[in-house]
């Protein structure tokens, strides 16, 4: 898990600190963090007027496009440094660079999330808002000092950004204290991108970068595993957007009888479908501190009070044959199709009556670190180790490369997709 480090850390020091922060096992939805400080203002050579991430919000973009796609790159990746690359996605999924892209920022651009006509970028300890113009071009706006709301103050930085389904609230995982004090912060979003701090959760030490919300915008879920201990996180979302933790009383299925390590399943991440179900990736290990096997996907039912239960067993849960480990997974806007991505590619599953069944898969040599959907049946995947940005068309659950895909970008970047309405 990311931690708080001084600005402009050398790459070697950053890598060591990141490994310390991640801890034991793998973490779903965990793009490598960046550090640094300062606010940003884009200055792309073309000039011009001014997520995902996993969160999605109402779109401020033109319906002539499927989506605007933004990839932020910190300078530590060895690429152009502190930039935001921007594209429009056509109806067939082909990407066209936006005038002025890539935009340069003065802070180390990392985690990104889109909401309406706003793009939020974590730049060091700050969150910078950019206005998305009708062409998708960016104009720098207000800067919010997220570190000021850490406990203790300035101890961490926003390691991730995501929104609720309605796009009214921005959330971050405030990573702090060498992974000893991670919490979720909540901010209300105002028209021009200014933010008002609402609250910070105080339960446990979550390592899941992005919570997943139900359609009614009342519950949010995540999970992680520490030393072989399964941790499920559930929150009620108030009308203001503030989050309050509650125990979802979830448990993992019994491991298969032939599990050589004898260990239990280890959960990681969450993907909510509508208001009725949450899918959580589970992984077996050879010991309490070694979880390296293939993921299986468990379906949990959401009760009226938000608690979770599953009837899945080791024998009934589907496995990830192409992607192996689920670096990221998310449902499309309809809550029907689940995409799961990993080092080998992406798999698509259909959820029907609380049962997942695989409908298609696609091997991607560059792997998948992050993925996001638009509202036109396109799936966007990015591989942080390869720099490959793929646009996939998904028809009846079967993925295929869109025209012009894949696109080569700098490694260790971060993806946000803002669907057109």
Dist. CA 148–CA 156, nearest whole Å: 9
pLDDT at residue 107, rounded to an integer: 81
Look at residue 256 and tell me if it is in a domain: yes
Instruction: Report the DSSP beta bridge partners of residue 100.
Output: none
pLDDT at residue 340, rounded to an integer: 97
Look at residue 290 and tell me if it is in a domain: yes
Look at residue 242 and tell me if it is in a domain: yes
* Residue 165, domain CATH: 2.130.10.10
Dist. CA 187–CA 88, nearest whole Å: 28
- Write down the pTM of the prediction: 0.84
Look at residue 5 and tell me if it is in a domain: no
Look at residue 73 and tell me if it is in a domain: yes
Report how many domains make up the chain.
Answer: 1
Domain that holds residue 302: 11-419
Sign, Cα dihedral of 104, 108, 111, 116 = negative
Q: For residue 265, what are its two tokens?
A: 């399943």
Long-range contacts, stretch 9-14, CB < 8 angstroms, 24+ apart: 9/35, 9/36, 9/76, 11/76, 11/78, 14/76
Mean pLDDT by 10 residues, the chain (421 residues): 27 26 35 32 27 36 76 76 92 95 88 96 93 95 90 74 96 72 93 95 89 97 87 96 97 84 84 97 72 84 98 94 88 97 96 96 95 96 95 97 95 92 72
Look at residue 219 and tell me if it is in a domain: yes
pLDDT at residue 31, rounded to an integer: 39
Strand-strand pairing, 83-89 and 67-73: antiparallel
pLDDT at residue 288, rounded to an integer: 55
Angle at 31 between CA 199 and CA 99, to 5 degrees: 95
Dist. CA 155–CA 337, nearest whole Å: 39
Look at residue 21 and tell me if it is in a domain: yes
- Write the CA distances from 36 to 109, 186, 233, 317, integer angstroms: 9, 21, 29, 42
Look at residue 1 and tell me if it is in a domain: no
């Amino acid at each position: 898990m990311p931690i708080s480090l001084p600005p402009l850390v050398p790459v070697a020091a950053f890598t060591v600190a990141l490994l310390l922060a991640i801890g034991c096992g793998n973490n779903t939805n965990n793009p490598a963090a960046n550090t640094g400080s300062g606010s940003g203002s884009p200055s792309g050579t073309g000039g011009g007027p001014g997520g995902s991430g996993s969160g999605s919000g109402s779109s401020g973009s033109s319906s002539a496009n499927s989506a605007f796609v933004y990839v932020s790159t910190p300078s530590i990746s060895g690429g152009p440094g502190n930039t935001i690359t921007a594209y429009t996605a056509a109806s067939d999924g082909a990407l066209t660079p936006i005038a002025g892209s890539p935009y340069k920022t003065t802070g180390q651009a990392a985690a990104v999330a889109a909401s309406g006509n706003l793009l939020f970028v974590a730049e060091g300890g700050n969150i910078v808002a950019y206005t998305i113009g009708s062409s998708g071009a960016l104009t720098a706006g207000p800067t919010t000092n997220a570190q000021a709301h850490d406990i203790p103050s300035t101890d961490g930085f926003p390691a991730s950004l995501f929104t609720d389904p309605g796009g009214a609230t921005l959330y971050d995982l405030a990573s702090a204290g060498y992974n000893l004090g991670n919490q979720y912060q909540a901010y209300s979003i105002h028209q021009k991108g200014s933010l008002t701090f609402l609250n910070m959760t105080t339960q446990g030490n979550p390592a899941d970068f992005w919570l997943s919300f139900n359609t009614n915008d009342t519950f949010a879920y995540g999970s992680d595993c520490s030393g072989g201990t399964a941790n499920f996180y559930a929150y009620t979302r108030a009308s203001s957007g503030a989050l309050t933790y509650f125990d979802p009383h979830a448990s993992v299925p019994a491991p298969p009888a032939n599990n050589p390590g004898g260990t239990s399943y280890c959960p990681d991440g969450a993907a909510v479908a509508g208001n009725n179900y949450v899918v959580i990736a589970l992984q077996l290990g050879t010991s309490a501190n070694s979880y390296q096997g293939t993921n299986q996907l468990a379906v949990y039912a959401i009760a009226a009070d938000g608690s979770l239960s599953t009837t899945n067993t080791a024998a009934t849960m589907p496995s990830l044959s192409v992607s192996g480990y689920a670096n990221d997974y998310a449902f499309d806007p309809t809550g029907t199709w689940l995409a799961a991505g990993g080092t080998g590619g992406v798999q698509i599953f259909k959820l029907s009556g609380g049962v997942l069944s695989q409908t298609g898969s696609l091997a991607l040599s560059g792997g998948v670190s992050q993925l996001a959907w638009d509202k036109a049946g396109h799936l966007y995947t990015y591989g942080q180790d390869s720099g490959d940005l793929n646009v996939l068309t998904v028809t009846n659950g079967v993925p295929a490369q869109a025209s012009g895909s894949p696109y080569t970008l700098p490694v260790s970047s971060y993806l946000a997709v803002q669907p057109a309405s």
